[in-house]
Amino acid sequence: MKSKNVLEANEIPQVAMDAMNDIHRDELQIVNNINEAILNHDTEQISLFCKDWLEHTKAHFERENYMMEKYDFPAFHCHQNEHFEAMELLEKTLAAWFKNADLDELSAYVQKTWPEWYLNHISTMDVITSAFIKQSMDKER
């Protein structure tokens, strides 16, 4: 039987900070829940999980942006810009869902666009950022 998950937790690259890894796993769980609801055509559950996803992602990006700024991460603006662009697309996609309830449009984003972006962002931006912040935090101790 094929998994109802978009990605498995072991497919997400690990970064230097456990807190970031936990946030990444939490977000993946929300997206996997959305995907399962999509496959079940459960529009009520989709909408509930989409609200959670939006709130979680906003908090996730705000926390990361704060840490990058606090520790003067050299590529802060580049990383922050990726967050901004990803948030814009997520908000646009979810607004379209709440307006039209188009399963095909949402499933394309959830099953293809988001996982590709997520894996790329974590394996590039987050790996480097977490190593820098962890090293900066260790120096403070």
Kindly report, residue by residue over 87-96, the tens digit of the pLDDT.
999 999 999 9
Residue type, 17: M
DSSP state of 41: T
Res 2 pLDDT > 80 = no
Say if 67 falls within a structural domain: yes
Say if 6 falls within a structural domain: no
Say if 69 falls within a structural domain: yes
Of 99, 127, 122, nearest in space to 28 by CA: 122
Say if 46 falls within a structural domain: yes
Exposure pattern of 75-93 as b/e (b: 16+ CB <10 Å)? ebeebbebbeebbeebeeb
pLDDT for position 141: 79
User: What are the CA-CA distances from residue 59 to residues 26, 33, 83, 107 (Å)?
Assistant: 12, 19, 11, 23
Say if 105 falls within a structural domain: yes
pTM, to two decimals: 0.94
Segments of 18-63 assigned E as strands = none
pLDDT for position 3: 80
Residue 56: which domain range? Answer: 18-140
pLDDT for position 1: 46
Say if 49 falls within a structural domain: yes
The crossing angle, in degrees rounded to 10, of helices 114-121 and 18-39 is 170
Could you tell me the CATH number of the domain that includes residue 46? 1.20.120.50
Say if 41 falls within a structural domain: yes
CA 49/CA 29 separation, integer angstroms: 10
- What is the tally of structural domains in the chain? 1
Say if 91 falls within a structural domain: yes
